[in-house]
């Protein structure tokens, strides 16, 4: 607060040098003018912040994967904020403008360069909530919402459990929709690692989606229902610690639930964090494994959860494993193209993003290791390199 005061002392001093009547006029305008430029109704979007973003010269643009793929001003961070502002002010209303509000990888690359600490995905999420309220959500996204609400998972396979009998345990493993429906090997390896480490672990009889897709798309009420259900199920499981393979699940359970009024009373960890803890306790031990790998930091893990060292330390603990670093790494990582539901909202952009990231990684090693099931699926699609989850490499090292 004091620092902020010092920072803007020059403004106060400059105003104090004006005549009294001018001072009064300037101060009144300074304090009240912005109301003129904001919507009169009470939108959920943070329009004042959106306006600040729209008035920025796009200082984060070089690191925005969506813009780098689209190569169009419309898709620049400030460009999307500008259309968002015009939408919120009712000055544009086209279908194109509405669709643009979903063209974001939610990777938060922008945030690290923003003098206001904004993330475009946060700004757009408010707009999406307003689009829900105004019944302007594109039909395909309404269908996705309906599917999640109906089947409790985003995937049509509709698998919501690992099929294991719940048991009393301090550790709860939550696989997440993507692992359950598309990458069960990640759950199988994770469970096997925990078993070999002597950890008693339980699972939920039925896993509901963490709700991240609902939240991202602006379906606030539905998200809250999922959060309430999951918070209750987790509590009933009696666990003390919850382990997830999916960074988006970790972020949602740990950060978003608390923000939205459903804080969990248990510790939530990503598998990479827990594996490292077990390695340090001597419960996971490795044999030699000759492998050259390149590690891809998932955006949510690296930038929203600030977990970059743990997965590296896990890999480096395996004798014989050599981990290469791509030029854009750790908190400077680049999205695989799946983030923010981009593969659904804009498949063409999603593929362009994927190719760009994939080409950087494949130059370095034949195996891309990541710590997110969605990233793993993305890199599998290109078939340029073997795509593996951290759990798979850990289990290989233990065997």
Contact between 116 and other proteins per CB under 8 A: yes
Contact between 327 and other proteins per CB under 8 A: yes
CA distance 162 to 181: 10
- Residue list 266-295, contact with other proteins (CB under 8 A): none
Instruction: Give the tokens for residue 66.
Output: 């969506």
CA distance 207 to 298: 23
Residue from the set 60, 179, 268, 394 that interacts with other proteins by CB under 8 A? 60
Contact between 93 and other proteins per CB under 8 A: yes
Residue from the set 39, 55, 240, 320 that interacts with other proteins by CB under 8 A? 55
Residue from the set 43, 45, 65, 82 that interacts with other proteins by CB under 8 A? 82
| CA-to-CA separations, 190 to 55, 177, 317, in angstroms, rounded | 46, 15, 17
CB of 89 to other proteins, least distance (A): 8
Closest-CA residue to 53 (of 78, 83, 73): 78
Q: Which is nearer to other proteins, 77 or 373 (CB)?
A: 77
Largest distance between two CA atoms of the chain: 80
CB of 4 to other proteins, least distance (A): 11
| CA-to-CA separations, 218 to 122, 135, 264, 303, in angstroms, rounded | 10, 12, 22, 21
Residue from the set 70, 179, 256, 364 that interacts with other proteins by CB under 8 A? 70
The answer to whether 317 and 268 have CB atoms below 8 angstroms apart is no
CA distance 110 to 87: 22
Q: Which is nearer to other proteins, 128 or 291 (CB)?
A: 128
Residue from the set 39, 40, 46, 59 that interacts with other proteins by CB under 8 A? 59
- The three-point CA angle 175-179-180 to 5° equals 80
Size of the site for other proteins (CB under 8 A): 62
Contact between 304 and other proteins per CB under 8 A: no
CA distance 276 to 147: 36
Residue from the set 43, 45, 65, 85 that interacts with other proteins by CB under 8 A? 85
Contact between 164 and other proteins per CB under 8 A: no
**274: phi > 0 → left, psi -120 to 50 → alpha, else beta; which?**
alpha
Choose one: 166-174, 212-220, 278-286, 346-354; the region binding other proteins (CB under 8 A).
Answer: 346-354
- Residue 159 CA, chain-centre distance (Å), reads 22
- Residue list 5-24, contact with other proteins (CB under 8 A): 6-7, 9-11, 13-15, 18, 22
Binding site for other proteins (CB under 8 A): 6-7, 9-11, 13-15, 18, 22, 25-26, 29-31, 33-34, 36-37, 48, 51-63, 68, 70-76, 79, 82-83, 85-86, 89-94, 96-97, 100, 113, 115-116, 327, 346, 348-349
């Amino acid at each position: 607060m004091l620092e902020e005061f010092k920072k803007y002392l020059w403004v106060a001093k400059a105003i104090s040098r004006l005549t009294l009547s001018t001072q009064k006029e300037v101060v009144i305008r300074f304090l009240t003018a912005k109301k003129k430029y904001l919507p009169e109704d009470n939108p959920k979007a943070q329009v004042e912040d959106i306006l600040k973003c729209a008035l920025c010269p796009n200082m984060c643009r070089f690191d925005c994967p969506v813009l780098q793929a689209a190569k169009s001003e419309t898709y620049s961070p400030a460009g999307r904020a500008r259309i968002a502002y015009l939408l919120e002010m009712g000055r544009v209303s086209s279908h194109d403008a509405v669709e643009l509000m979903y063209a974001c990888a939610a990777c938060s690359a922008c945030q690290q360069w923003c003098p206001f600490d904004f993330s475009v995905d946060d700004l757009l999420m408010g707009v999406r909530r307003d689009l829900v309220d105004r019944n302007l959500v594109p039909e395909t996204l309404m269908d996705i919402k309906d599917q999640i609400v109906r089947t409790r998972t985003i995937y049509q396979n509709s698998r919501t459990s690992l099929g294991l009998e719940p048991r009393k345990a301090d550790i709860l493993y939550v696989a997440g929709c993507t692992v359950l429906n598309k990458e069960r090997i990640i759950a199988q390896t994770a469970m096997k690692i925990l078993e070999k480490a002597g950890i008693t672990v339980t699972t939920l009889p039925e896993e509901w989606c963490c709700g991240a897709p609902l939240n991202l798309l602006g379906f606030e009420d539905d998200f809250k229902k999922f959060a309430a259900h999951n918070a209750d199920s987790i509590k009933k499981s009696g666990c003390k610690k919850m382990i997830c393979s999916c960074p988006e699940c970790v972020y949602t359970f740990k950060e978003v639930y608390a923000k939205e009024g459903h804080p969990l009373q248990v510790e939530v960890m990503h598998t990479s964090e827990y594996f490292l803890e077990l390695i340090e306790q001597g419960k996971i031990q490795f044999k030699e494994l000759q492998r050259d790998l390149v590690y891809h930091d998932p955006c949510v893990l690296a930038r929203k959860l600030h977990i970059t060292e743990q997965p590296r330390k896990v890999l480096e603990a395996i004798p014989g494993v050599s981990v290469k670093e791509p030029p854009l790494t750790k908190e400077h990582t680049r999205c695989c193209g799946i983030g923010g539901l981009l593969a659904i909202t804009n498949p063409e952009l999603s593929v362009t993003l994927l190719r760009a990231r994939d080409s950087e990684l494949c130059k370095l090693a034949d195996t891309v290791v990541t710590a997110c099931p969605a990233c793993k699926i993305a890199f599998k699609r290109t078939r340029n390199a073997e795509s593996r989850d951290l759990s798979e490499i850990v289990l290989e090292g233990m065997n």
